[in-house]
Structures are given as structure tokens and as C-alpha cells.
Amino acid sequence: MKIIHILWITFLIPFLSVDSNRDQSIENWGNDSPTVRESTVDIQVKVGEKLFVFGKAQGTLDNVKIGMHLLNFAQNPTIAGVNADLNQVTWKKLKNGAIQIQSYYKPWPNILTWLVLPDGKLKMEAIATESYQHSLANLGLGFDFPEEELKKLELNDQQLAFPDALTEAKFFKNVSFEFANAKLNIQSELSDLAFNSNFSNKGSKDADFVISFPEDIHTQSTPSAPGVTFGVANRNSVEPMTKMVLWFDFQ
């Protein structure tokens, strides 16, 4: 009987040592994609060998893990160009299997949405609703990345002199980062957004780079149909610019 008791206690120890803050009932942490673990502080979404960590406080992308490598790529919590107040953060699993994390701000963005898609790509959409009456000029989202791991940086398929800072915002359709153990490509569905980098300013609290609306804001490209393409839409029609749509492909 003592032997049976010892074996039973040994079997239970791994389960008793699980972090009590985690809710293991959200999704099974298996090989199906995407799968979710939620704790009191974050939402972890796993797709294949990729793990995306979103903070529950603001719904920001806080970390990315690819295989065994942790890439300290994160969304800067400060909204560029405006004093924004966060009202609510929600998340859910959509019918197509994607995981949706949404943050609601005032005055902008009214809704900031992250989608983790079953193919491992991320879609980010920041929109202004009809109730937003101010100009979107220079409003944007900032991101931070491990500068010490950066080996190559390309803007619109042109290699940039690095680590020189970009002192002026430049329009972009895609920007590519090559790190020591990972790669990242960011593409915009709109052709008129601006990219500005401050990452060489050591000790700065500003975001390493900011993607923003340009000063002269009038029209935007018509976005591609959802799920059809990964990239920039053809400029075959225009409409008032009220949102930014970005795609993130971590490799």
C-alpha cells in the first residue's frame, strides 16, 4: 500500500506545480493551430512553431517566439501622435480558427485588432469610426525590436544604411528585418502610410519605428479581399483614408 501511495503522489506532483494563474481549460496546448493559453497577465497564441504573446492590460503584441528563439519584438504601448485612453481589451476565437484580440481606445484608434491566422501570419487593423472627427495625420503605432540582433533592414526592397536613423518619414509598401535567428516582413494593404525609424537613438523611450498616417491624408488604396492575397492592394480605386491594415510574417 505504501508503494501505491508513493506512486500516486509522484503522478500528481507535475499537475500540482502548474501555475495557478493559468486557465488550462481555454484550449488544449497541442499541435492544432491556433491554440491559446490565457493567464491573468497575457494571452499566448501558438501556431506551429510560432508563439505570440499579447498583454491583457492593453492587448499589445509583447513577444514572439519562433522555435526555441525568443524575439523581443513588441508593440509600443504608446499611441503615436495622440493622447489615447484605453477602454477595453477583448479576445475570442473566430469560426475560421483565427484568434482575435481587440483594444478599444479614445480618441484613436477606436478599434485596434490583432488577428492570429491559422497559417501563422498576423493581421493588424487600426480604424477610426465615423465618430472620430479629427485628422488622422501623423497618428500611428510604434514597435520595438532587438537592435543588437538586427543584421539587415530593407524598406521597399531597398537596403538601408544601418544603424543610421531615418530622420524623415518615408512612404512604404513593405519593410523587412533580418535578425540573427529570425526574419520579419511587414506589408501594408495601403500605399500611403509612412515608416519612420528612431532605433539608433540610444536610451530613447520612443518606439524603434513608427508606422503612421502621412501629414497629407486624403485617400487610400482599396484593400484586397480578406484571405485572398498577402501584400499591397492595387490602387484601382480610392476612398477616404480611415484605417491602416498591416500584415506581419515572422520566419
pLDDT in tens, 12-40: 333 323 333 334 334 444 445 789 999 99
- The secondary element (H helix, E strand) that includes residue 5 is helix 2-16
Average pLDDT over residues 107-123: 93
Average pLDDT for the chain: 76
CA angle 31, 36, 38 (to 5 degrees): 145
The per-residue pLDDT for 187 is 93
DSSP 8-state symbol, 149: G
CA quadruple 198, 160, 73, 196: dihedral sign: positive
Q: What percent of the chain has pLDDT over 70?
A: 70
Domains parsed from the chain with CATH numbers: 2-250 (2.70.98)
Confidence band, pLDDT 50/70/90 cuts, at residue 168:
low
Distance in angstroms (rounded) separating the CA atoms of residues 192 and 198:
20
The per-residue pLDDT for 15 is 30
- Compare 108 and 27 and report the one with higher pLDDT: 108
Confidence band, pLDDT 50/70/90 cuts, at residue 114:
very high
**Which distant-in-sequence residues (6+ apart) come within 8 Å of 168 by Cβ?**
196
Distance in angstroms (rounded) separating the CA atoms of residues 163 and 147:
9
pLDDT higher than threshold 70 for residue 6: no
